[in-house]
Structure 1
């Protein structure tokens, strides 16, 4: 290993500008995320009256005291169908989700935020839950769901939402069959399709006089059949524990129910295999990450400065440093876990693509997870590069990336443009986790480049027609293209569409990657026993 030597000048005007912009973006992000927390907390009087814990209080009671909780997809659904107004839209899709430790075991935890519209399903709720299920399945994480939801909003019914939502139940069956325990704790309503959340779980805990699970609630039942029954008669905890057999455990209140869930996880016997290794801290402060990335993505930056503030001891063994120099890759250790790192100091060219492809294969041979730090404007273009075989060399990288048999984690640190997004393990290439910094931009190209391209197309078309281009119209079109690209490429927008697993503070990148790496690497130590079908309830 070789120590990375930082050349960062914290006193330079450029660093200070970058830092101020990043802090402003983080302030905006914090306010958005807090909006969901505050909205849920407004339900406190109603929850207290019924003797119930608020959703985030349930989370706090569930995870081990003092352990980190990596919350995912906090911006899901922001400015979506329910409310497109940026000033009032509440992000999160009424779901609290993330990776947390329960009795020494890392688990995927999904909680209906019943403090927001009674936990009713929103446009991105099912997609957010399904993404969590995919992560749990890939990494053998026990899947814990704390259920309390008013179900779907029939006033805002969408056919596609109903159809795609069935994937939540498909995934639960797959988790159980893969030997990954699924635990449901029902705090309140679990109606219609939501009843299959506990129905497809391996362990079910219901809270007495609070939990209700049924395919049709009293109103729908009466409308459909004329039968009249109370919620308790139809699907209360007592009935399900003694008659239907849906409930394995009944608790008297939320806190007792959570204690029972912790007992279930403890009985797996997986604790002790989950110990994380410590690592020497980087030699440079995480605070520096606020000012490294340029406010203008077209300004070059040495991504080794980022690596130096992430890996243990800032010790980095660079691979082929003199070949394909715009592509940086090498070996390091992060919180005790050996990893490969791959990033960019320029576009991907033929040499960089072949180097990256070879490096990915070497990491696969070693069984090392790969961390991709994206700051990429795309693959290089031009006649000389086409003649040099850019297409086939880029294809080597795509082949290696698509078939790498090791965990892959991606952080969008700056630009993520064009096919560079693909070649550096963007969302379509199914990284185990993908996070964005607040300044990250994701698009087929930059807005100015798109506007210039369309302007030249229009000008050439006018010339072929023997007319003069309308300069005023072209200028207006260019401004609109830039505005559209700026809006749709922002980290807040892409994260609201679940194109990442969350926007994170650059200063927290090492810790976030540490939790994510642990989720990916500890799974090999878990003694799971796949069966042909998920465990059926009897």
Structure 2
């Protein structure tokens, strides 16, 4: 028996032929097909989705304005930059700002508008360092905190903790929104949690930088910059105005000696093989109309390459991995 087994395991003459080993399907298959753009269904889908996308863009532009025109004019008349102008002047020139939860608070409080939840959060590059930026919008109800404002603030801090992002707070806040203070102050994940998170991040050497760009009290002699810089020692720097405060913040971040360590290999992005706007005609706005989600994936992932697994099991769900070429 053992002799027969040894004979069976002995390399054959054909296997011993020198040369490269041949693998099956080294290249990754690409997804996607060209749609029939002349079909009535495609054109109907395209037009309906285009209307919805345009509506989305219009609402985003409205949210970016912040408070109403009167509130913005009053803010500017006090020599202050609008909150999005502060962020633009803080981050590196030409660098992107990844905004989070832009539609927070949208139509949440009946007829009371709270654009972006009254606070702007997102990731931006400051002096070459990716930071979580949290900026109060004083044009929205004086920058007061609604329940959704607290939730958005805490979510930004959680993202910063998980990704070890230094936090920059551009503070211009009127505190809690008094009519809703019962939903702002008392519970575990309410307003006080913000300071709990700050303390925890500081203990983990995740830098916290605060730029108080507006008055937090009604009068200078009750606790303004001069008192805290000269007497109490609570503050580290005294800024002359918004732009000076942002300049000081950039200097602080630059001196952190912080370098992001990537645990993954970053490669240049690659466009899909198919135009992104074809998604309008493929998906459409009719929720009763089905479509092939693989055609959607083909217009999202790099090179339209997708390694699908369990393709024959549970065919109402598509699972897979985007792979490099």
Q: TM-score, normalised by structure 2?
A: 0.81
1:279-298 alignment, distance < 5 Å: 279-298=269-288
Report the alpha carbon displacement of residue 128 of structure 1 after superposing the two structures with TM: 0.9
Match of 2:248 in 1: 260
Q: 1:39 to 1:13 in 2, by over 3 A?
A: same
RMSD: 2.4
Instruction: Name the CA distance, whole Å, in 1 between partners of 2:82 and 2:37.
Output: 43
Mapped contact 1:22–1:290 kept (Cα < 8 A) = yes
1:175 pairs with one of 182, 201, 205: 201
SS of the residue aligned with 2:214?
strand
Q: Does 1:161 align with 2:160?
A: no
Q: Does 1:77 align with 2:102?
A: no
Instruction: Name the CA distance, whole Å, in 2 between partners of 1:268 and 1:276.
Output: 24
Match of 1:326 in 2: 316
Q: 1:314 to 1:175 in 2, by over 3 A?
A: same
Report the alpha carbon displacement of residue 272 of structure 1 after superposing the two structures with TM: 7.2
Report the alpha carbon displacement of residue 149 of structure 1 after superposing the two structures with TM: 1.1
Instruction: Name the CA distance, whole Å, in 1 between partners of 2:119 and 2:225.
Output: 23
Report the alpha carbon displacement of residue 131 of structure 1 after superposing the two structures with TM: 0.9
Instruction: Name the CA distance, whole Å, in 2 between partners of 1:185 and 1:312.
Output: 40
Instruction: Name the CA distance, whole Å, in 1 between partners of 2:181 and 2:240.
Output: 37
Which whole-Å deviations, capped at 9, do the CAs of 1:99-137 have from their partners, x for residues lacking one?
Answer: 222122221111111122221222311111111111111
Report the alpha carbon displacement of residue 7 of structure 1 after superposing the two structures with TM: 4.3
SS of the residue aligned with 2:306?
strand
Which whole-Å deviations, capped at 9, do the CAs of 1:264-314 have from their partners, x for residues lacking one?
Answer: 222223357579641221111121222322423333221111211122111
Mapped contact 1:76–1:91 kept (Cα < 8 A) = yes
Which whole-Å deviations, capped at 9, do the CAs of 1:187-208 have from their partners, x for residues lacking one?
Answer: 1133xxxxxxxxxxxxxxxxxx
Match of 1:129 in 2: 153
Q: Structure 1 regions of 5+ residues with no counterpart?
A: 191-211, 218-230, 339-538
Q: 1:325 to 1:39 in 2, by over 3 A?
A: closer
Match of 2:15 in 1: none
SS of the residue aligned with 1:291?
helix
Report the alpha carbon displacement of residue 61 of structure 1 after superposing the two structures with TM: 0.4
Report the alpha carbon displacement of residue 168 of structure 1 after superposing the two structures with TM: 1.6
1:93 pairs with one of 86, 105, 117: 117
**Which structure shows the bigger proportion of residues in strand conformation?**
1
Q: 1:320 to 1:79 in 2, by over 3 A?
A: closer
Q: 1:103 to 1:271 in 2, by over 3 A?
A: farther
Instruction: Name the CA distance, whole Å, in 1 between partners of 2:38 and 2:255.
Output: 55
1:29 pairs with one of 34, 56, 60: 56
Instruction: Name the CA distance, whole Å, in 2 between partners of 1:44 and 1:326.
Output: 50
Q: 1:316 to 1:39 in 2, by over 3 A?
A: closer
Q: 1:289 to 1:148 in 2, by over 3 A?
A: same
Report the alpha carbon displacement of residue 157 of structure 1 after superposing the two structures with TM: 3.5
Instruction: Name the CA distance, whole Å, in 1 between partners of 2:246 and 2:237.
Output: 11
Which whole-Å deviations, capped at 9, do the CAs of 1:125-155 have from their partners, x for residues lacking one?
Answer: 111111111111111111111000122232x
Instruction: Identify the structure with bigger relative contact order (alpha carbons < 8 Å, sequence gap 6+).
Output: 2
Mapped contact 1:33–1:91 kept (Cα < 8 A) = no
Which of structure 1's runs of 4+ aligned residues deviate more than 4 A? Answer: 271-276
Q: Does 1:10 align with 2:37?
A: yes
Match of 2:24 in 1: none
Q: Structure 2 regions of 5+ residues with no counterpart?
A: 1-27
Instruction: Name the CA distance, whole Å, in 2 between partners of 1:103 and 1:299.
Output: 48
Q: Does 1:311 align with 2:301?
A: yes
2:222 pairs with one of 209, 234, 255: 234
Q: Does 1:63 align with 2:91?
A: yes
Report the alpha carbon displacement of residue 246 of structure 1 after superposing the two structures with TM: 1.4
Mapped contact 1:145–1:185 kept (Cα < 8 A) = yes
Instruction: Name the CA distance, whole Å, in 2 between partners of 1:111 and 1:245.
Output: 24
Instruction: Name the CA distance, whole Å, in 2 between partners of 1:48 and 1:157.
Output: 27
**Which structure shows the bigger proportion of residues in helix conformation?**
1
